[in-house]
Amino acid sequence: MDFLVGPSGRIYAPLSIDPSRGFPQSFSLQFANRTYRFRLYVNAPFHLVKDKALVLDLPSAEAFLVVQVELDQPTGTRPLIFLRKVVPSLEYEAENIALTFPQQQVAVRNLNGEGIFGSQVTGGVAPRWA
């Protein structure tokens, strides 16, 4: 497991993002005795995604990666704790976690499609307070 280092120097454990599964994608993460549900998707206009050979370097003026995080509650509810487009150079805080997404290249063929087409998306999670 390779850890990520954010711009602040904070150490992040990698998220289980699998670009070959395509986007949107979702997964659960057990972290600090809590279960978080992640959803990642790309918002891009049609004229950018017509070229199936293209790899989008995100964010751009017209396209970006959106991350949504929900927190599983003992009551069975899942309140939304994070929803925003993310930028590689920034770190984010939501509830008791910190997040970073330093690499965001998504192949157009991975939008609503699975396979190895050159997408590279990495993210990390850390405790908000150390």
Summarised one tens digit per residue, pLDDT across range 49-83 is 998 899 999 999 999 999 999 999 999 999 999 99
* 39 within some domain: yes
Q: Is residue 130 part of a domain?
A: no
pTM of the model: 0.94
**Within a domain: 104:** yes
Tell me if 88 is assigned to some domain: yes
Instruction: Give domain status of residue 127, yes or no.
Output: no
In this prediction, residue 22 has a pLDDT band, given cuts at 50, 70 and 90, of: very high
Q: Is residue 58 part of a domain?
A: yes
Question: Average pLDDT for residues 82-106, to the nearest whole number?
Answer: 97
- Determine the average pLDDT of the residues in 98-127: 97
Torsion of CA 41, 42, 47, 52, to 10 degrees: -80
**Per-residue confidence (pLDDT) for residue 1, from 0 to 100:** 60
Q: Which of 78, 114, 102 is nearest to 3 (CA)?
A: 102
pLDDT exceeds 80 at position 18: yes
Could you tell me if residue 30 is inside a domain? yes
Overall domain count for the chain: 1
Assign 130 a pLDDT band (cuts: 50, 70, 90).
low
**Segments forming the whole domain that contains residue 68:** 4-121
